[in-house]
Amino acid sequence: MLAVILAGALGGLAFPPVCFVPILAFVFPFLLRKVDQARTWRGAFGYGFAFGLGLHTAGLYWLTYAILIRAADFWWLVPIAAPGCALILAPFVAVPAALCRIAPAGPARAVAFAGLWTLLDMGRIFLFTGFPWNPVGSAWEIPGAVGTTMIQPAAWIGVDGLTLITVLLAVLVPYGWRVRGALAGVLVLWVGAGVARRALVTPLDVHNPAVVLVQGNVSEQAKIAHDDSLEVFRRYLALTAEGVAKAKSLNRPIAYVWPETAFPYLLDEEPAARDMIARAGNGATGIIGTLRQSRDGAWHNSVEAMSADARLIGSYDKSTLVPFGEYNPAILPFHVVPGGGLVPGNGVETWHLPGGIGPVGPLICYEVIFSSRVVKESDRPNWLVNVTNDAWYGNSAGPRQHLAGVRMRAVEEGLPIARAANTGISAVYDGFGTETARMGWGVAATVVTALPPPLPRTLFSRAGRTLPIILSLACIGGGFARRKRKTRAASHAEL
């Protein structure tokens, strides 16, 4: 069991930012070999659970940073934060490991396992408010042109389809040179499809605005203490004025973006502060992260759109909240979220902002990791904006994995995404997932760039997760059907 846990942990090296994809060709076959050796399905379940425990503990190690920020209250959670989450996620690996034994050992079982893995992994959206973090398909989000080429099929089958193909490639490696040759051919076709899409798909004739991404670099301790709120506000005003002045040369409508909860007060209750922001914006439109309290007293994590004359012209409340971070799941006998937590909004929206800014789809932090759930399909925007605060997780893999989700959503939807992060990493991606602008971790500055145009609507944006579900079921059915054929053959032999 310890060896399987270690194998799972080594598999975590495939996730961003390391993206060491070849490790999967060793750890997945090792897991399947242990599943084959298990005497019962319970033993196979145990091996899958151990692998999932190692994989997700390594992949989510950065959760410990958030506990350390509140160590005075939750010091006892420090050693168990990442393993605790991994315990919750491990059954999503254990169940495929147990069920794949229905198929006969060999390639049929490997194919069934890949389908089961993908189907169960997709089911993580139903865990609390959902936790689809680090799908195996995200391993291909290698920085630069190589990664951009490899993630292009997500425009057709999404990140879950990439997960299915990746697991299939990994588990079939041990089955001889003929199979490996076929797998190499699949990789060649994969690369060819990525190159072809980037060469043949033409962006739409749409002129998106220029964006000014404002990164204040405020530590989470400072945000919690509120001791320097006025200084933080002044910093954002100065950065906004500086960025908007640079953006004037682009000769486009300008939107400046403040990260999640960047405004240290309640924006809708501070008209004087809005006037000051509008003056700093100098004719531009503001998209500002803030807390908001509704008339019934409920608190919301929100982003507000503000006109050049300081009027609030759009408001969006985060609709998918982070379990243990923004609300307290009912299964916990104690509270880790201060007060009563936050209240979710009504779902994704599209803002039609005046002056050539919209239509734009706002997303707050964690919401951007949900494949096929980031766009209002009945009213598709021309671009997406994601505001976030990853200061909780330090200069770790966490913010990089979060950023990888932003990049993948751009490819799936064919839409450019502008991301403003409090401490970084702020970036802009076009509809191919190519990074067109970036500001690294831990600096207070601005990113000023003209947003690329959107691409034609992708197949994935139309079909959603239907295709990866169908492909996964086909793999499961194919693997299980092999068992039936073997059973019939054995029966005929006895006769």
Q: Mind listing the pLDDT tens digit for each residue in 389-440? A: 999 898 999 999 999 999 999 999 999 999 999 999 999 999 999 999 999 9
Q: Is 162 inside a domain boundary?
A: yes
User: Does 25 share its domain with 145?
Assistant: yes
> Of 141, 220, 260, 413, which is the active-site residue?
260
Catalytic residue among 349, 365, 412, 413: 365
DSSP string across 44-62:
HHHHHHHHHHHHHHHHTTT
341 in a structural domain: yes
- Are 252 and 370 members of one domain? yes
Assess contact for 89 and 124: CB atoms under 8 A: yes
Q: Are residues 144 and 180 both part of a single domain? A: yes
Q: Could you confirm whether 365 is annotated as catalytic? A: yes
157 and 219 belong to one structural domain: no
* Co-location of 305 and 240 in the same domain: yes
Please tell me which residue, 76 or 476, carries the higher pLDDT value.
476
Whether 215 and 196 share a structural domain: no
Same domain, 432 and 474: no
In-domain check, residue 285: yes
CB atoms within 10 A of CB 93: 27
Q: Which of 11-20, 206-215, 290-299, 351-360 has the lowest mean pLDDT?
A: 290-299
Looking at the fold, whether 252 and 362 belong to one and the same domain comes out as yes
**166 belongs to a structural domain:** yes
Specify if 205 maps to a domain: no
Total number of domains in the chain: 2
| Confidence class for position 495, pLDDT limits 50, 70, 90 | very low
Whether residues 245 and 140 share a domain: the answer is no
pTM: 0.92
Same domain, 123 and 238: no
Residue 426's domain comprises 210-461
User: Burial of 329 by CB count in 10 Å (0-12 exposed, 13-18 middle, 19+ buried)?
Assistant: middle
Same domain, 441 and 478: no
Which entry of 100, 223, 318, 367 is annotated as an active-site residue? 318
For 339-362, how does the pLDDT look when each residue is reduced to its tens digit (9 = 90+)? 667 888 899 999 999 999 989 999
> Does the residue 452 lie in any domain?
yes
Active site residue 376: no
Give Cβ neighbours of residue 220 (< 8 Å, ≥ 6 apart): 69, 389, 391, 392
CATH code for position 371: 3.60.110.10
What pLDDT, on the 0 to 100 scale, is given for residue 181? 93
Q: Which residues contact 93 (CB under 8 A, 6 or more apart)?
A: 8, 48, 49, 51, 52, 55, 117, 120
Q: Note whether residue 251 is domain-resident.
A: yes
Whether 147 is in a domain gets the answer: yes
Residues 167 and 253 in one domain: no
User: Is position 260 annotated as part of the catalytic site?
Assistant: yes
